[in-house]
Amino acid sequence: MTGKFLDIAATPGVRAAQAANGSRDLSERSGDDQQPDRLTGAEAAFIEARDSFYMATVSETGWPYIQHRGGPAGFLKVLDETTLGFADFRGNRQYISLGNIAANDRVALILMDYPNRRRLKILAHMEARALSADADLAARLTLPGYRAMPERALVLHLEAFDWNCPQHITPRFTREEIQAAIAPLQSRIAALEAENQALRAQAGGQEAVLS
């Protein structure tokens, strides 16, 4: 956990819970890290390989709200080492995340890599920008050929990130990943079927000669 992440997460209540449960070393590590975290190449590569993430916002009534966001791998772009962005697609017309950030711009993301059992948490401030107002941003976030209609840009100003441990992440695979893994088996089965057919034809021919 980065110092900044812990700094944000370790509220007085959290610190009390840590102390009560013998995690005092965790709260002692926090406190002096005021600069936002900066993404390294490892985080950038991880983020740009994802085809979905879960994003929490906070409602004006204090409720956490989580929405799933999805698109082609890499739709969440690393714009620089403290800025992320993605196109907000037209959808269910509820605008809950958008409405929430108008009052409180804090968001929490969790990005999952199920096959490799890795996950990354991100804390950021998120702003909505009109795509028409920033042609360069629009070009970076727009996904040519993707069926969804982008309504605006959502830009995240990173505060902190945290890599989690792999425990309890069940490996899951996309259709494409499964297809790549079974392709050699399918070829092998096809070759064996062809060989089997040829052998049967050969054996059938020999039986006909003998009878």
Ligand X SMILES: Cc1cc2nc3c(=O)[nH]c(=O)nc-3n(C[C@H](O)[C@H](O)[C@H](O)COP(=O)(O)O)c2cc1C
Question: Which segment (10-18, 89-97, 134-142, 177-185) binds ligand X by CB under 6 A?
Answer: 89-97
The single residue among 11, 61, 94, 132 that binds ligand X, judged by CB under 6 A, is 94
The single residue among 56, 89, 138, 164 that binds ligand X, judged by CB under 6 A, is 89
Interface with ligand X in residues 28-67 (CB under 6 A): 67
Interface with ligand X in residues 65-84 (CB under 6 A): 67, 69-71
CB of 65: closest distance to ligand X in angstroms?
7
Q: Are 77 and 138 in contact (CB under 8 A)?
A: no
DSSP string, 148-160: S-EEEEEEEEEEE
Does residue 96 belong to the site contacting ligand X (CB under 6 A)?
A: yes
Q: Are 3 and 33 in contact (CB under 8 A)?
A: yes
CA distance 42 to 36: 17
CB of 145: closest distance to ligand X in angstroms?
13
Q: Tokens 């890499």: give the residue.
A: 74
Residue 146 or 173 with smaller CB distance to ligand X? 146
Question: What stretches of the chain show up as alpha helix (H) in DSSP?
Answer: 3-9, 12-20, 24-29, 41-48, 96-103, 135-141, 175-210
Does residue 108 belong to the site contacting ligand X (CB under 6 A)?
A: no
Q: Who contacts 34 (Cβ-Cβ below 8 Å, separation ≥6)?
A: 4, 7
Does residue 152 belong to the site contacting ligand X (CB under 6 A)?
A: no
Question: Which segment (87-95, 127-135, 171-179, 190-198) binds ligand X by CB under 6 A?
Answer: 87-95
* Residue-level length of the chain: 211
Q: What is the pattern of x (binds ligand X, CB under 6 A) and - over residues 131-150?
A: -----------------x--
The single residue among 97, 120, 126, 161 that binds ligand X, judged by CB under 6 A, is 97
CA distances from 178 to 168, 181, 183, 184 (A): 21, 5, 8, 11
Does residue 104 belong to the site contacting ligand X (CB under 6 A)?
A: no
Q: How many CA atoms lie within 13 A of 37 on its CB side?
A: 25
Residue 117 or 125 with smaller CB distance to ligand X? 125
Give contact residues for ligand X (rule: CB under 6 A). Answer: 67, 69-71, 89, 91-92, 94-97, 148
